[in-house]
Copies of this chain bind each other. A is one copy, B any other.
Protein backbone atom coordinates (compact mmCIF):
# COMPACT_ATOMS: atom_id res chain seq x y z
CA UNK A 1 0.00 0.00 0.00
CA UNK A 2 1.25 3.47 -0.88
CA UNK A 3 1.09 6.92 0.61
CA UNK A 4 -0.58 9.27 -1.90
CA UNK A 5 -0.70 13.04 -1.50
CA UNK A 6 -3.45 14.85 -3.41
CA UNK A 7 -2.65 18.54 -3.90
CA UNK A 8 -5.79 20.53 -4.58
CA UNK A 9 -9.00 19.71 -2.73
CA UNK A 10 -11.56 20.74 -5.35
CA UNK A 11 -14.07 18.42 -6.99
CA UNK A 12 -11.86 16.15 -9.02
CA UNK A 13 -8.76 16.09 -6.85
CA UNK A 14 -10.81 15.10 -3.84
CA UNK A 15 -12.87 12.55 -5.75
CA UNK A 16 -9.77 10.54 -6.58
CA UNK A 17 -9.44 9.88 -2.84
CA UNK A 18 -12.29 7.36 -3.08
CA UNK A 19 -10.66 4.70 -5.27
CA UNK A 20 -7.32 5.27 -3.56
CA UNK A 21 -8.75 4.86 -0.07
CA UNK A 22 -10.84 1.89 -1.15
CA UNK A 23 -7.62 0.25 -2.32
CA UNK A 24 -6.14 0.71 1.13
CA UNK A 25 -3.70 3.49 0.30
CA UNK A 26 -2.98 6.24 2.79
CA UNK A 27 -4.41 9.41 1.28
CA UNK A 28 -3.32 12.91 2.29
CA UNK A 29 -5.60 15.60 0.90
CA UNK A 30 -3.91 19.00 0.71
CA UNK A 31 -5.97 22.11 0.03
CA UNK A 32 -4.53 25.08 -1.79
CA UNK A 33 -5.05 28.60 -0.41
CA UNK A 34 -8.36 28.55 -2.30
CA UNK A 35 -9.50 25.42 -0.48
CA UNK A 36 -9.15 26.64 3.10
CA UNK A 37 -12.85 26.36 3.97
CA UNK A 38 -13.05 22.92 2.40
CA UNK A 39 -10.10 21.62 4.39
CA UNK A 40 -11.36 23.22 7.59
CA UNK A 41 -14.60 21.29 7.17
CA UNK A 42 -12.74 18.07 6.36
CA UNK A 43 -10.61 18.51 9.48
CA UNK A 44 -13.61 19.30 11.66
CA UNK A 45 -15.88 16.44 10.68
CA UNK A 46 -14.59 14.74 7.55
CA UNK A 47 -17.28 16.34 5.37
CA UNK A 48 -16.33 17.88 2.01
CA UNK A 49 -18.87 20.66 1.43
CA UNK A 50 -18.40 20.96 -2.32
CA UNK A 51 -18.71 17.25 -3.06
CA UNK A 52 -21.37 17.03 -0.33
CA UNK A 53 -19.85 13.82 0.94
CA UNK A 54 -17.98 12.51 3.97
CA UNK A 55 -14.44 11.54 3.00
CA UNK A 56 -13.62 7.84 3.02
CA UNK A 57 -11.93 6.47 6.12
CA UNK A 58 -8.23 7.13 6.28
CA UNK A 59 -8.14 10.32 4.19
CA UNK A 60 -6.16 12.93 6.10
CA UNK A 61 -6.81 16.62 5.33
CA UNK A 62 -3.99 19.18 5.28
CA UNK A 63 -3.89 22.96 4.97
CA UNK A 64 -1.52 24.37 2.37
CA UNK A 65 0.96 25.32 5.12
CA UNK A 66 1.22 21.64 5.95
CA UNK A 67 2.31 20.72 2.42
CA UNK A 68 5.86 19.74 3.50
CA UNK A 69 4.46 17.24 6.01
CA UNK A 70 1.94 15.94 3.50
CA UNK A 71 4.51 15.33 0.79
CA UNK A 72 7.06 13.77 3.15
CA UNK A 73 7.20 10.07 2.48
CA UNK A 74 4.51 10.18 -0.20
CA UNK A 75 5.32 7.76 -2.99
CA UNK A 76 2.77 9.32 -5.32
CA UNK A 77 1.61 12.93 -5.64
CA UNK A 78 -1.57 13.80 -7.53
CA UNK A 79 -1.86 17.33 -8.83
CA UNK A 80 -5.50 18.21 -8.49
CA UNK A 81 -5.41 21.94 -9.10
CA UNK A 82 -7.17 23.63 -12.01
CA UNK A 83 -5.37 24.86 -15.09
CA UNK A 84 -4.61 28.24 -13.54
CA UNK A 85 -2.75 26.55 -10.67
CA UNK A 86 -0.34 24.36 -12.61
CA UNK A 87 2.64 26.71 -12.40
CA UNK A 88 1.92 27.40 -8.75
CA UNK A 89 1.82 23.73 -7.89
CA UNK A 90 5.08 23.08 -9.70
CA UNK A 91 6.87 25.96 -8.00
CA UNK A 92 5.45 25.29 -4.54
CA UNK A 93 5.67 21.54 -4.56
CA UNK A 94 8.81 21.09 -6.61
CA UNK A 95 11.32 22.15 -3.94
CA UNK A 96 9.70 19.68 -1.55
CA UNK A 97 9.84 16.73 -3.92
CA UNK A 98 12.43 13.99 -4.04
CA UNK A 99 13.70 11.97 -6.99
CA UNK A 100 11.58 8.90 -7.55
CA UNK A 101 8.37 10.37 -6.26
CA UNK A 102 5.74 9.82 -8.94
CA UNK A 103 3.48 12.64 -10.08
CA UNK A 104 0.07 12.29 -11.74
CA UNK A 105 -2.05 15.23 -12.89
CA UNK A 106 -5.77 15.54 -13.44
CA UNK A 107 -5.75 19.12 -14.69
CA UNK A 108 -7.49 19.61 -18.05
CA UNK A 109 -6.02 22.22 -20.33
CA UNK A 110 -3.43 23.32 -22.79
CA UNK A 111 -1.02 26.20 -22.44
CA UNK A 112 1.47 28.07 -24.59
CA UNK A 113 5.23 28.13 -24.53
CA UNK A 114 7.01 31.48 -24.62
CA UNK A 115 7.07 31.33 -28.42
CA UNK A 116 3.38 30.48 -28.73
CA UNK A 117 3.52 26.73 -29.28
CA UNK A 118 1.02 24.48 -27.55
CA UNK A 119 2.24 22.65 -24.47
CA UNK A 120 0.37 20.01 -22.51
CA UNK A 121 -0.04 20.74 -18.80
CA UNK A 122 2.07 17.82 -17.50
CA UNK A 123 4.97 19.25 -19.51
CA UNK A 124 4.25 22.72 -18.16
CA UNK A 125 4.20 21.34 -14.64
CA UNK A 126 7.46 19.51 -15.21
CA UNK A 127 9.08 22.68 -16.54
CA UNK A 128 8.30 24.40 -13.24
CA UNK A 129 10.04 21.72 -11.16
CA UNK A 130 13.59 22.36 -9.94
CA UNK A 131 16.19 21.20 -12.44
CA UNK A 132 17.61 18.72 -9.95
CA UNK A 133 14.49 16.56 -9.96
CA UNK A 134 12.84 17.54 -13.24
CA UNK A 135 13.84 14.37 -15.08
CA UNK A 136 13.70 12.15 -12.00
CA UNK A 137 9.97 12.31 -11.40
CA UNK A 138 7.93 9.79 -13.40
CA UNK A 139 4.87 11.65 -14.57
CA UNK A 140 1.40 10.74 -15.82
CA UNK A 141 -2.06 12.21 -16.30
CA UNK A 142 -5.71 11.19 -16.12
CA UNK A 143 -8.12 11.72 -18.99
CA UNK A 144 -11.42 10.31 -20.12
CA UNK A 145 -15.01 10.84 -19.09
CA UNK A 146 -15.43 11.36 -15.36
CA UNK A 147 -17.75 13.60 -13.41
CA UNK A 148 -16.12 13.96 -9.99
CA UNK A 149 -19.30 13.69 -7.98
CA UNK A 150 -20.08 10.36 -9.58
CA UNK A 151 -16.62 8.98 -8.86
CA UNK A 152 -16.96 10.06 -5.23
CA UNK A 153 -20.33 8.28 -5.25
CA UNK A 154 -18.57 5.14 -6.44
CA UNK A 155 -20.56 5.20 -9.68
CA UNK A 156 -19.13 3.07 -12.49
CA UNK A 157 -16.51 5.15 -14.31
CA UNK A 158 -14.15 4.40 -17.21
CA UNK A 159 -11.06 6.59 -17.67
CA UNK A 160 -7.70 6.59 -19.41
CA UNK A 161 -4.36 7.17 -17.70
CA UNK A 162 -1.48 8.37 -19.85
CA UNK A 163 2.27 8.64 -19.52
CA UNK A 164 4.99 8.78 -22.15
CA UNK A 165 6.40 5.66 -20.52
CA UNK A 166 3.75 2.95 -20.73
CA UNK A 167 5.08 1.27 -17.59
CA UNK A 168 4.56 4.48 -15.63
CA UNK A 169 0.95 4.69 -16.79
CA UNK A 170 0.40 1.04 -15.90
CA UNK A 171 1.93 1.62 -12.45
CA UNK A 172 -0.46 4.48 -11.71
CA UNK A 173 -3.41 2.47 -12.99
CA UNK A 174 -2.60 -0.37 -10.62
CA UNK A 175 -2.87 2.01 -7.67
CA UNK A 176 -6.24 3.40 -8.70
CA UNK A 177 -8.23 0.54 -10.25
CA UNK A 178 -11.28 -0.59 -8.28
CA UNK A 179 -14.47 -2.46 -9.07
CA UNK A 180 -16.06 0.86 -10.07
CA UNK A 181 -13.06 2.82 -11.39
CA UNK A 182 -12.02 1.17 -14.65
CA UNK A 183 -8.68 2.41 -15.94
CA UNK A 184 -7.15 2.02 -19.39
CA UNK A 185 -3.61 3.17 -20.06
CA UNK A 186 -1.81 4.74 -23.00
CA UNK A 187 1.68 5.93 -23.84
CA UNK A 188 0.10 8.69 -25.96
CA UNK A 189 0.14 11.31 -23.23
CA UNK A 190 -0.05 14.13 -25.76
CA UNK A 191 -3.14 12.78 -27.50
CA UNK A 192 -4.86 12.13 -24.21
CA UNK A 193 -4.16 15.62 -22.91
CA UNK A 194 -5.28 17.26 -26.13
CA UNK A 195 -8.60 15.41 -25.86
CA UNK A 196 -9.05 16.36 -22.21
CA UNK A 197 -8.53 20.01 -23.06
CA UNK A 198 -10.34 20.18 -26.39
CA UNK A 199 -13.50 18.49 -25.16
CA UNK A 200 -14.00 21.52 -22.91
CA UNK A 201 -13.66 23.89 -25.84
CA UNK A 202 -16.00 21.86 -28.01
CA UNK A 203 -18.58 21.41 -25.29
CA UNK A 204 -18.99 25.16 -25.57
CA UNK A 205 -19.67 24.55 -29.26
CA UNK A 206 -22.50 22.13 -28.50
CA UNK A 207 -23.77 24.55 -25.86
CA UNK A 208 -24.05 27.29 -28.47
CA UNK A 209 -26.80 25.27 -30.15
CA UNK A 210 -28.67 24.90 -26.88
CA UNK A 211 -28.40 28.63 -26.33
CA UNK A 212 -29.66 29.41 -29.81
CA UNK A 213 -32.81 27.47 -28.96
CA UNK A 214 -33.37 29.54 -25.82
CA UNK A 215 -32.66 32.73 -27.75
CA UNK A 216 -35.27 31.65 -30.28
CA UNK A 217 -37.88 31.26 -27.53
CA UNK A 218 -37.39 27.57 -26.82
CA UNK A 219 -39.19 24.68 -28.50
CA UNK A 220 -41.74 25.83 -31.07
CA UNK A 221 -45.48 25.18 -30.96
CA UNK A 222 -44.99 21.67 -32.36
CA UNK A 223 -42.27 20.90 -29.81
CA UNK A 224 -39.21 21.14 -32.04
CA UNK A 225 -35.94 21.68 -30.15
CA UNK A 226 -32.59 22.28 -31.83
CA UNK A 227 -31.00 18.90 -31.27
CA UNK A 228 -30.21 18.62 -34.98
CA UNK A 229 -27.84 21.56 -34.94
CA UNK A 230 -26.39 20.47 -31.59
CA UNK A 231 -25.74 17.06 -33.14
CA UNK A 232 -24.06 18.68 -36.12
CA UNK A 233 -21.82 20.57 -33.70
CA UNK A 234 -21.15 17.36 -31.75
CA UNK A 235 -20.13 15.45 -34.87
CA UNK A 236 -18.08 18.39 -36.10
CA UNK A 237 -16.41 18.62 -32.68
CA UNK A 238 -15.28 14.98 -32.89
CA UNK A 239 -14.13 15.51 -36.46
CA UNK A 240 -12.07 18.58 -35.49
CA UNK A 241 -10.60 16.80 -32.46
CA UNK A 242 -9.49 13.99 -34.77
CA UNK A 243 -7.86 16.53 -37.09
CA UNK A 244 -6.04 18.31 -34.25
CA UNK A 245 -4.85 14.97 -32.91
CA UNK A 246 -3.46 14.22 -36.35
CA UNK A 247 -1.60 17.54 -36.43
CA UNK A 248 -0.27 16.99 -32.90
CA UNK A 249 0.86 13.45 -33.67
CA UNK A 250 -1.70 11.97 -31.29
CA UNK A 251 -3.86 8.88 -31.66
CA UNK A 252 -6.71 9.98 -33.88
CA UNK A 253 -8.83 7.00 -32.74
CA UNK A 254 -9.14 8.82 -29.41
CA UNK A 255 -11.65 11.07 -31.19
CA UNK A 256 -14.21 8.26 -31.19
CA UNK A 257 -13.23 6.64 -27.91
CA UNK A 258 -13.38 7.42 -24.22
CA UNK A 259 -11.07 10.48 -24.39
CA UNK A 260 -12.89 12.14 -27.29
CA UNK A 261 -16.54 11.35 -27.98
CA UNK A 262 -17.03 9.82 -24.52
CA UNK A 263 -15.59 12.77 -22.63
CA UNK A 264 -17.38 15.26 -24.89
CA UNK A 265 -20.68 13.51 -24.21
CA UNK A 266 -20.28 13.60 -20.44
CA UNK A 267 -19.21 17.23 -20.45
CA UNK A 268 -22.29 18.11 -22.48
CA UNK A 269 -24.57 16.44 -19.91
CA UNK A 270 -24.18 19.24 -17.39
CA UNK A 271 -21.82 21.56 -15.59
CA UNK A 272 -20.18 24.91 -16.10
CA UNK A 273 -18.79 24.33 -19.58
CA UNK A 274 -22.01 23.45 -21.37
CA UNK A 275 -23.66 26.30 -19.42
CA UNK A 276 -20.97 28.66 -20.68
CA UNK A 277 -21.73 27.66 -24.25
CA UNK A 278 -25.47 27.95 -23.72
CA UNK A 279 -25.11 31.47 -22.36
CA UNK A 280 -22.92 32.49 -25.31
CA UNK A 281 -25.48 30.94 -27.67
CA UNK A 282 -28.18 33.05 -26.04
CA UNK A 283 -26.17 36.08 -27.05
CA UNK A 284 -24.33 36.96 -23.85
CA UNK A 285 -20.79 38.26 -24.12
CA UNK A 286 -18.02 36.43 -22.31
CA UNK A 287 -17.88 39.28 -19.80
CA UNK A 288 -21.56 38.81 -19.01
CA UNK A 289 -21.08 35.06 -18.76
CA UNK A 290 -18.26 35.57 -16.26
CA UNK A 291 -20.62 37.63 -14.11
CA UNK A 292 -23.44 35.08 -14.35
CA UNK A 293 -21.12 32.18 -13.53
CA UNK A 294 -19.20 34.17 -10.92
CA UNK A 295 -16.62 32.18 -9.02
CA UNK A 296 -16.39 29.30 -11.50
CA UNK A 297 -13.17 28.76 -13.40
CA UNK A 298 -14.09 28.74 -17.09
CA UNK A 299 -11.41 26.37 -18.33
CA UNK A 300 -13.20 25.88 -21.64
CA UNK A 301 -12.90 29.58 -22.46
CA UNK A 302 -9.22 29.51 -21.52
CA UNK A 303 -8.55 26.64 -23.92
CA UNK A 304 -10.31 28.55 -26.69
CA UNK A 305 -8.07 31.53 -25.94
CA UNK A 306 -4.98 29.34 -26.09
CA UNK A 307 -6.10 27.78 -29.36
CA UNK A 308 -6.73 31.28 -30.70
CA UNK A 309 -3.02 31.97 -30.29
CA UNK A 310 -1.88 28.59 -31.53
CA UNK A 311 -4.03 28.31 -34.67
CA UNK A 312 -2.45 31.10 -36.72
CA UNK A 313 0.97 29.61 -35.94
CA UNK A 314 -0.16 26.16 -37.08
CA UNK A 315 -1.49 27.68 -40.29
CA UNK A 316 1.68 29.71 -40.84
CA UNK A 317 3.71 26.54 -40.30
CA UNK A 318 1.70 24.74 -42.97
CA UNK A 319 0.22 22.24 -40.52
CA UNK A 320 -3.35 23.42 -41.00
CA UNK A 321 -5.17 25.08 -43.85
CA UNK A 322 -6.79 28.45 -43.08
CA UNK A 323 -10.32 27.14 -43.52
CA UNK A 324 -9.95 24.05 -41.34
CA UNK A 325 -11.57 23.74 -37.90
CA UNK A 326 -14.51 26.08 -38.57
CA UNK A 327 -16.23 25.30 -35.26
CA UNK A 328 -13.12 26.08 -33.24
CA UNK A 329 -12.68 29.29 -35.25
CA UNK A 330 -16.25 30.25 -34.43
CA UNK A 331 -15.53 29.73 -30.73
CA UNK A 332 -12.44 31.91 -31.03
CA UNK A 333 -14.43 34.59 -32.85
CA UNK A 334 -17.10 34.67 -30.16
CA UNK A 335 -14.93 34.21 -27.07
CA UNK A 336 -11.69 35.96 -27.97
CA UNK A 337 -12.83 38.49 -30.56
CA UNK A 338 -16.25 39.15 -29.07
CA UNK A 339 -17.93 38.76 -32.45
CA UNK A 340 -21.63 37.86 -32.72
CA UNK A 341 -22.28 34.15 -33.07
CA UNK A 342 -22.81 32.76 -36.55
CA UNK A 343 -22.53 28.98 -36.82
CA UNK A 344 -20.79 28.23 -40.15
CA UNK A 345 -22.66 25.00 -40.80
CA UNK A 346 -21.82 24.88 -44.50
CA UNK A 347 -18.12 24.97 -43.62
CA UNK A 348 -18.45 21.83 -41.51
CA UNK A 349 -17.01 18.50 -42.68
CA UNK A 350 -14.53 20.02 -45.05
CA UNK A 351 -16.86 22.66 -46.42
CA UNK A 352 -17.03 21.07 -49.86
CA UNK A 353 -20.43 19.45 -49.45
CA UNK A 354 -18.82 16.04 -49.86
CA UNK A 355 -17.61 13.78 -47.07
Measuring CB to CB, which residues of chain A are less than 8 angstroms from any residue of chain B?
51-53, 145-147, 149-153, 155-158, 160, 166, 170, 173, 182-186, 220-232, 234-236, 238-239, 241-242, 251, 253-263, 265-266, 269-270, 343, 345-346, 348-349, 353-355
Q: Can you list 28 A-B contacts (CB < 8 A)?
A: A53-B222, A145-B232, A145-B235, A149-B224, A151-B228, A153-B220, A153-B224, A155-B228, A157-B228, A158-B229, A158-B235, A158-B348, A160-B355, A166-B354, A173-B353, A184-B355, A230-B265, A230-B269, A234-B261, A234-B262, A234-B266, A236-B257, A238-B257, A238-B261, A239-B256, A256-B260, A256-B261, A257-B349
Of chain B, the residue at the smallest CB distance from A352 is B184
Q: Complex Cα distance A225/B153, Å?
A: 9
Contact (A258, B235) CB under 8 Å given A183-B353, A353-B184: yes
Residue from the set A156, A241, A259, A260 with the largest chain B CB neighbour count within 10 Å: A156
Chain B residues, Cβ within 8 Å of A158: 228-229, 231-232, 235, 345, 348-349
Contact (A156, B256) CB under 8 Å given A182-B346, A231-B265: no
Contact (A266, B227) CB under 8 Å given A156-B345, A232-B157: yes
Further pairs besides A155-B229, A235-B263: 11, Cβ < 8 Å: A51-B222, A52-B223, A145-B231, A152-B222, A155-B226, A158-B232, A182-B345, A228-B266, A235-B256, A236-B262, A242-B256
Contact (A266, B231) CB under 8 Å given A153-B224, A343-B156: yes
Q: Please list the 3 inter-chain residue pairs (A to B) with the smallest Cβ-Cβ separation, ordered nearest first.
A: A235-B262, A153-B224, A145-B231
Chain B residues, Cβ within 8 Å of A241: 256
Q: Complex Cα distance A226/B52, Å?
A: 17
Q: Complex Cα distance A316/B256, Å?
A: 27
* Other-chain residue from B229, B242, B254 in contact with A157 (beta carbon distance below 8 A): B229
Residue from the set A155, A183, A236 with the largest chain B CB neighbour count within 10 Å: A155
In the complex the two chains form, is B256's CB within 8 Å of A185's CB?
no
Chain B residues, Cβ within 8 Å of A231: 145, 158, 258, 262-263, 265-266, 269
Q: Complex Cα distance A170/B352, Å?
A: 12
Q: Complex Cα distance A243/B222, Å?
A: 38
Of chain B, the residue at the smallest CB distance from A226 is B155
Q: Complex Cα distance A86/B257, Å?
A: 33
* Other-chain residue from B234, B261, B353, B354 in contact with A235 (beta carbon distance below 8 A): B261
Shortest CB-to-CB span from A166 to chain B, Å, is: 7
Chain B residues, Cβ within 8 Å of A150: 224-228
Contact (A255, B256) CB under 8 Å given A156-B343, A182-B346, A227-B147: yes
Contact (A149, B222) CB under 8 Å given A184-B349, A256-B238, A256-B255: yes
Shortest CB-to-CB span from A188 to chain B, Å, is: 8
Q: Complex Cα distance A150/B223, Å?
A: 8
Chain B residues, Cβ within 8 Å of A222: 51-53, 149, 152-153
Chain B residues, Cβ within 8 Å of A265: 227, 230-231, 234-235, 265
Q: Complex Cα distance A166/B254, Å?
A: 30
Chain B residues, Cβ within 8 Å of A156: 226, 228-229, 232, 343, 345
